[in-house]
Amino acid sequence: MSNYTKTTVLSEASRTELHDVLNLTGAEVSINNMPAGTAVPFVHYHKHNEEIYGIISGKGTITLDGETIELNAGDWLRVAPEAKRQIAAAADSPISFICIQAKAGSLEGFSMTDGVV
Amino acid sequence: MSNYTKTTVLSEASRTELHDVLNLTGAEVSINNMPAGTAVPFVHYHKHNEEIYGIISGKGTITLDGETIELNAGDWLRVAPEAKRQIAAAADSPISFICIQAKAGSLEGFSMTDGVV
């Protein structure tokens, strides 16, 4: 059995979810492209998963429990499971971002404590 | 206490690790920029973590248990913990990529089964 899975994400796709395509078991990853002036049409939170957002290009905002935070390319955020969140592109710019879901508290070691050279 | 953490990653940094900066608990995320003609100078594998690689720009290769796979912008891969891996930029192109570590088998639900609207 192959020890890897691979896919190519089209840059024009509005949302691409990788969990099922790559057979992920430790995280879900989505790649998102939102046009200027659009927002995710609902507020949501999570039961168990932290979310990690990385802004690849463009700009926008994320509202967390009523606080609105500016987002620009290069910004990375951890959002706690219980935070009520809603992301939006800027009025005058699209936004492209990655969103990672992973179970809060699940990482036991990493890099030097999990990697073996 | 704030329900989020945020940082800005400099696009010229060779490697930025987010775990400690963002207080991540479910994954480690690194943003990597390698110049043309360079490679990670060692082969490694993991005890428990799957790795998810996403190529943001440029091109290169990853060698997995001796098999060399071409990498281009938009490619995403899951690499099993036990696979012996080494990533390199192309001879004529830099490569920028994201690497996510998460414990294999740790994700219990996601999106519709973990998210609440």
Tell me, yes or no, whether B21 lies in a domain: yes
Tell me, yes or no, whether A40 lies in a domain: yes
- Minimum Cα–Cα distance from A72: chain B residue: B8
Tell me, yes or no, whether B58 lies in a domain: yes
Contact residues, chain A, for B109 at CB < 8 Å: 47-49
Tell me, yes or no, whether A84 lies in a domain: yes
Closest chain B C-alpha to A35 CA, distance in angstroms: 19
Q: Would you give per-residue pLDDT tens digits along chain A (117 residues)?
A: 689 999 999 888 999 999 999 999 999 999 999 999 999 999 999 999 999 999 999 999 999 999 999 999 999 999 999 999 999 999 999 999 999 999 999 999 999 999 999
Whether the per-residue pLDDT at B2 is higher than 90: the answer is: no
Contact residues, chain B, for A69 at CB < 8 Å: 4, 6
Could you tell me which of A114, A40, A97, A8 has the C-alpha nearest to residue B48? A114
> What sections of chain A are H helices per DSSP?
19-22
Count the alpha carbons within 13 Å of A53 in the hemisphere toward its beta carbon. 30
Count of CB atoms situated within 10 Å of the CB of A64: 21
* Residue B56's CATH number: 2.60.120.10
CB contact under 8 A, A44 and B108: no
**pLDDT given for residue B83 in this prediction:** 98
Distance between CA A101 and CA A81 in Å, rounded?
Answer: 9
Tell me, yes or no, whether B94 lies in a domain: yes
Q: What is the DSSP letter of A24?
A: -
Kindly state the tokens that stand for A27: 């995280």
Tell me, yes or no, whether B35 lies in a domain: yes
**pLDDT given for residue A108 in this prediction:** 96
pTM attached to this predicted model: 0.96
CB contact under 8 A, A107 and B77: no
Among A9, A69, A103, A108, the residue to mutate for chain B (most B Cβ within 10 A)? A103
Count of CB atoms situated within 10 Å of the CB of B69: 14
**pLDDT given for residue A1 in this prediction:** 60
**Residue B12's pLDDT band (boundaries 50, 70, 90)?**
confident
Q: Please report the ipTM that was assigned to this predicted complex.
A: 0.95
Tell me, yes or no, whether B7 lies in a domain: no
Distance between CA B63 and CA B92 in Å, rounded?
Answer: 18
Tell me, yes or no, whether A52 lies in a domain: yes
Q: pLDDT by residue (tens digit) across B39-81?
A: 999 999 999 999 999 999 999 999 999 999 999 999 999 999 9
Number of domains in chain A: 1
Residue A91: domain span: 15-106
